[in-house]
């Protein structure tokens, strides 16, 4: 009986929230490639944005989101995001998410590029963990079926309608087929493409690759957000130092102790992420250092230990008391703005196939995501996906301001490229497709990726599937970055350092 109304791939916030709503409408199967709580969601620190404060409104939230998106947000999608946010927060509270409170009301903090405090948090800086645990427990105690260690490997499409999925049981190595009416990809991002990244191991672009191979449209892939402040300690993974740390008063210093952000922009430490990331990189180059520092030593220690208990503890475990010493940081790849193109109902161009969460591109982030809008996007659009599946009429996806390209197959294939491996791939993307790119670096990467793509053997286990998905996701990012001959939002071309009005449009890639 491998037949379900809904199959959801992934068990982060997008997968779990969708499943909890969908179970009211029919049978639900979640398949997830690790354990149920393997995901990026549980690492989210800062929080979730929603205009619920006294001095806030959906209109103000809309303005900040549009400003961060640098001319490429889908305004209709953003209006939906900010308007439906408060109801989704109420839903999360009803599911049991323990948001922090102050004087009996939900506590709100600032983050970069928000003009008012509107970030809800839980456990101080453990928002994602509380959301993941709460929703995961709800799913476990429901009738939703969950298959762990089960890796989606192929979407089954008949006559332009999705009919099911093939998946690998990672424990036995066997492949199974599952049929469904609605298939929802909630597979998260692709941060593992880059040598320095804040993401969990699962972020290997699987949903993008599966959807693309099945004929789905992929959009905005050139926009990958680099977070300016990931911990930079030898031998330690680039653990995120949340933007909320700067929101509470932390400042960035270079190795000479100079507070450098006011030299770059009036918004200083609270400028949008792409500006802080590039300024930080510039400052590292100028001072010949591989790091800068965040200073919070001027803040009362109790603020640090109560607002950021997780960050405080992590640093302390690595020999660093941040109430007394500077935090060494450097930029790291963080969030994929692009993804599987959807309309405002989470629908893709393949009937019955939906995408939600970081793997989807609903258009709300444009060229640059506003901090704490991604957890929100996941819940708002999960809700819309399930609402959509209860209606019969078909809605075609919008293609406004979009140019469609076929992924180039005629790249020069070379004999002399290194053998593909995760570490070589990550170094390649960091060096050639990173915070600052140009035609030469991107072309080199594109040629290597195309050569690997042609020579990859059939994937047989989880690591080989993931490597193959990363290579394809990397190709989509690199080719889109080559096409966009301008700089905008998170995409910076040193050979085209300014925005161009003629590029105020999207790049959609298809097979």
Ligand X SMILES: Cc1cc2nc3c(=O)[nH]c(=O)nc-3n(C[C@H](O)[C@H](O)[C@H](O)COP(=O)(O)OP(=O)(O)OC[C@H]3O[C@@H](n4cnc5c(N)ncnc54)[C@H](O)[C@@H]3O)c2cc1C
| Residue selected from 23, 33, 61, 291 as contacting ligand X according to rule CB under 6 A | 33
Which sign, positive or negative, has the C-alpha torsion 89, 90, 95, 101? positive
Contact assessment for residue 339 and residue 360, using Cβ atoms and an 8 Å cutoff: yes
Contact positions with ligand X (CB under 6 A) in 440-479:
none
Q: Is 437 a catalytic residue?
A: no
**Residue 151 within binding range of ligand X, rule CB under 6 A:** yes
Question: Can you read off the two tokens belonging to residue 201?
Answer: 């191991």
Q: Which is nearer to ligand X, 39 or 330 (CB)?
A: 39
**Residue 349 within binding range of ligand X, rule CB under 6 A:** no
Roughly what angle, to the nearest 10 degrees, separates helices 127-140 and 13-22? 30
**Residue 107 within binding range of ligand X, rule CB under 6 A:** no
Show the binding pattern over residues 284-323: x = contacts ligand X (CB under 6 A), - = does not: ----------------------------------------
| Residue selected from 21, 22, 38, 327 as contacting ligand X according to rule CB under 6 A | 38
Distance between CA 204 and CA 463 in Å, rounded? 10
- Stretch binding ligand X (CB under 6 A), from 295-303, 306-314, 370-378, 493-501: 370-378
- Stretch binding ligand X (CB under 6 A), from 54-62, 185-193, 245-253, 437-445: 185-193
Smallest gap from residue 57 Cβ to ligand X (A): 20
| Residue selected from 8, 13, 80, 322 as contacting ligand X according to rule CB under 6 A | 13
Which sign, positive or negative, has the C-alpha torsion 102, 106, 109, 115? negative
361-109-123-233 Cα dihedral, nearest 10 degrees = 80
Q: Which is nearer to ligand X, 45 or 229 (CB)?
A: 45
| Residue selected from 8, 10, 260, 307 as contacting ligand X according to rule CB under 6 A | 10
Instruction: Please spell the DSSP secondary structure of 69-91, one letter per residue.
Output: TTT---HHHHHHHHHHHHHHHHH
Contact positions with ligand X (CB under 6 A) in 238-267:
240
- Stretch binding ligand X (CB under 6 A), from 199-207, 309-317, 418-426, 445-453: 199-207
| Spatial CA neighbour of 260 closest among 244, 245, 248, 275 | 275
**Residue 343 within binding range of ligand X, rule CB under 6 A:** no
Strand partners, 168: 151, 175
| Residue selected from 70, 222, 283, 358 as contacting ligand X according to rule CB under 6 A | 358
> Which residues are within 8 A (CB) of 335 and not within 5 positions of it... i.e. 6 or more apart?
189, 191, 224, 225, 227, 358, 369, 374
Distance between CA 408 and CA 266 in Å, rounded? 41
Catalytic annotation, pick one of 246, 273, 369, 488:
273
The pairing of beta strand 101-102 with beta strand 105-106: antiparallel
The pairing of beta strand 339-341 with beta strand 360-361: parallel
**Residue 152 within binding range of ligand X, rule CB under 6 A:** yes
**Residue 206 within binding range of ligand X, rule CB under 6 A:** yes
**Residue 272 within binding range of ligand X, rule CB under 6 A:** no
In the complex, the residues that contact ligand X under the rule CB under 6 A are: 9-15, 31-34, 38-41, 43-48, 127-128, 151-152, 186-188, 198-199, 202-203, 206, 240, 335, 357-359, 372-375, 378
What residues act catalytically?
273
């Amino acid at each position: 009986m491998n037949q379900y109304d809904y199959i959801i791939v992934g068990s982060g916030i997008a997968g779990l929230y969708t499943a909890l709503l969908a179970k009211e409408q029919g049978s639900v199967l979640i398949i997830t490639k690790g354990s149920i709580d393997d995901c990026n969601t549980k690492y989210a620190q800062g929080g979730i944005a929603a205009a619920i404060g006294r001095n806030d409104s959906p209109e103000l939230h809309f303005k900040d989101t549009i400003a961060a998106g640098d001319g490429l947000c889908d305004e209709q999608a953003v209006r939906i995001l900010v308007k439906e946010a408060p109801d989704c927060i109420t839903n999360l509270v009803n599911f049991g998410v323990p948001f922090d409170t102050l004087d009996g009301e939900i506590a709100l903090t600032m983050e970069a590029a928000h003009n008012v405090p509107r970030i809800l948090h839980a456990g101080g800086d453990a928002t994602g963990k509380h959301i993941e645990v709460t929703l995961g427990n709800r799913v476990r105690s429901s009738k939703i079926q969950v298959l762990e260690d089960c890796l989606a490997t192929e979407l089954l499409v008949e006559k332009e309608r999705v009919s099911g999925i093939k998946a690998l049981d990672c424990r036995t190595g066997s492949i199974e087929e599952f049929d469904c009416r609605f298939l929802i990809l909630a597979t998260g991002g692709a941060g593992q493409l880059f040598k320095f990244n804040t993401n969990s191991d699962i972020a290997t672009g699987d949903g993008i690759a599966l959807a693309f191979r099945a004929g789905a449209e992929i959009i905005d892939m050139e926009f990958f957000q680099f977070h300016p402040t990931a911990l930079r300690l030898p031998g330690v993974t680039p653990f995120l130092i949340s933007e909320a740390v700067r929101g509470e008063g932390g400042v960035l210093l270079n190795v000479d102790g100079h507070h450098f952000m006011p030299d770059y922009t009036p918004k200083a430490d609270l400028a949008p992420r792409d500006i802080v990331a590039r300024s930080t990189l510039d400052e590292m180059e100028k001072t010949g250092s591989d790091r800068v520092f965040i200073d919070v030593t001027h803040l009362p220690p109790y603020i640090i230990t109560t607002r950021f208990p997780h960050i405080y503890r992590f640093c302390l475990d690595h020999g660093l008391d941040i109430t007394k010493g500077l935090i060494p940081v450097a930029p790291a790849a963080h969030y994929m703005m692009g993804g599987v193109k959807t309309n405002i109902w989470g629908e893709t161009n393949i009937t019955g196939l939906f995408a939600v969460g970081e793997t989807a591109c609903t258009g709300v982030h444009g060229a640059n995501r506003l901090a704490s809008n991604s957890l929100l996007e996941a819940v708002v659009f999960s809700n819309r996906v399930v609402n959509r599946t209860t209606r019969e009429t078909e809605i075609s996806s919008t293609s406004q301001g979009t140019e469609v390209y076929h992924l180039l197959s005629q790249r020069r294939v070379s004999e002399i490229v290194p053998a593909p491996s995760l570490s070589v791939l990550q170094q390649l993307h960091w060096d050639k497709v990173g915070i600052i790119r140009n035609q030469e670096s991107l072309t080199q990467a594109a040629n290597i990726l195309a050569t690997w793509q042609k020579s990859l053997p059939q994937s047989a286990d989880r690591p080989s599937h993931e490597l193959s998905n990363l290579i394809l996701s990397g190709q989509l990012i690199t080719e889109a970055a080559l096409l966009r001959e301008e700089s905008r939002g998170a995409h910076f071309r040193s050979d085209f350092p300014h925005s161009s009005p003629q590029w105020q449009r999207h790049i959609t890639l298809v097979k």
